Amino acid sequence: MSIQRSLLFKSLVAPYYRQHAALLCFVYYIMTLGVGRANGVGMLEYHYALIRGMLTAPSFLITVFVLWLAYAIRCAQFVAGSLHKPAFSYLYQLLLVDPKKVYRLLLQVQLMLLLPVLSYLIFVMGIGFHEHWYVPAILAFLFIVVVCVAGAGWYVYLLQRPGAYPLQIKWKWPFILNRTYYVSFLLRYVLEKGKVLFLVTKLYNCAALYLMLAGRDPARHSDIRMMALFFSAGMLGHGILIHRLKEMENTGMSFYRGLPVSVSRRFVQYCLFYFCLFLPEIITIAARTPACLQYEEAGFFIFFGLGILLLLNSLQLYNYPNLKSYLVNVTQLFFAVIIAMVSRQLYALSIIFFALAITLFFYRYYRFEPQQNPDLF
């Protein structure tokens, strides 16, 4: 490996994967652990059906292209942000190297950043050619080629023009959120620092809800256990986002714990925050009620989802030695959902989750002493 390539990989590729470990863990969770065998098929069958739908439905293929493009844009934003940091100013020394060689090096950087997409593309191409779906498989390959080539060219452009900056996603806040409510601090952090993870989570949850409820007749199909299983998988996927939020609170807003605010008022503030975070799913559920969901079922999904979010928040009042220990707890909650689904006790489990969230919060809030664990993120 050349010195320039090693320098670029250590400066751009490795920090990118460290910073986005939460997002990648969440995607891995919903694509593997969130599937399981509760629906009667294995993980391989699930992904085969997913790829088949992608290669046979043009609308689904376009949706996948949009997701891949969003991931590539996030990679471009990270590279541009790194180049604008004084600590990475040494990368501009690459301008002294032959431009063609610089482009080849940055193309390798782009390929490494898109490695999760490229890995899945291999399976897409294999299944596409095996099933004779040549056109969509080739289109997927050409799309990634264009993204890689254009991304490397964009990085060269940024090197040659230090003042340039990529397109940014900025949120225009309503007037009421400009006031210093504690909830607004939390929402600002999610939408400014965790927007990619937030958007991926909401896209999965809302799309899963919409597709599972499409064409359902609540009078003829009263069993919602399978829908509740996939819904809970998406809600538990918020755990990584909530963990990052708590890390921010423990490091940047620790003063709030010393303010004269009652525990009950603090809990109400968190309830309001997670209600706002849960709004996309609430809107999706409301849009499918009563055509595809009875009012009782819609109320269950809202209560169940909010209870999971509050329970994940209360579990943050414990110190975890590493990320694996935290994800083990999240996985245990998912197993509890599976057990409740098999035993037809989902309604009882939703009440238990909500009651447990309240109990843990009131018991642990002032007993919790945050510790900095560099192994987490």
What tens digit of pLDDT does each residue of 4-23 get?
788 888 888 888 888 777 66
Cβ contacts of 329 within 8 Å, gap of 6 or more: 315, 320
Q: Are 140 and 159 in contact (CB under 8 A)?
A: no
> What is the Rg, in whole angstroms, of the alpha carbon atoms belonging to the chain?
23
Q: In the prediction, which pLDDT does 196 show?
A: 72
Q: Are 315 and 360 in contact (CB under 8 A)?
A: yes
Q: In the prediction, which pLDDT does 355 show?
A: 92
pTM over 0.75: no
What tens digit of pLDDT does each residue of 203-257 get?
777 877 777 777 777 777 777 777 887 788 778 878 878 888 887 877 777 777 7
Q: In the prediction, which pLDDT does 165 show?
A: 54
pLDDT band at 145 (very low <50, low <70, confident <90, very high): very high
pLDDT band at 37 (very low <50, low <70, confident <90, very high): very low
**Which of 67-76, 162-171, 253-262 holds the top average pLDDT?**
67-76
Q: In the prediction, which pLDDT does 375 show?
A: 44
pLDDT at 36 over 50: no
More confident residue, 43 or 355: 355
Q: How far apart are CA 280 and CA 207, in angstroms?
A: 11
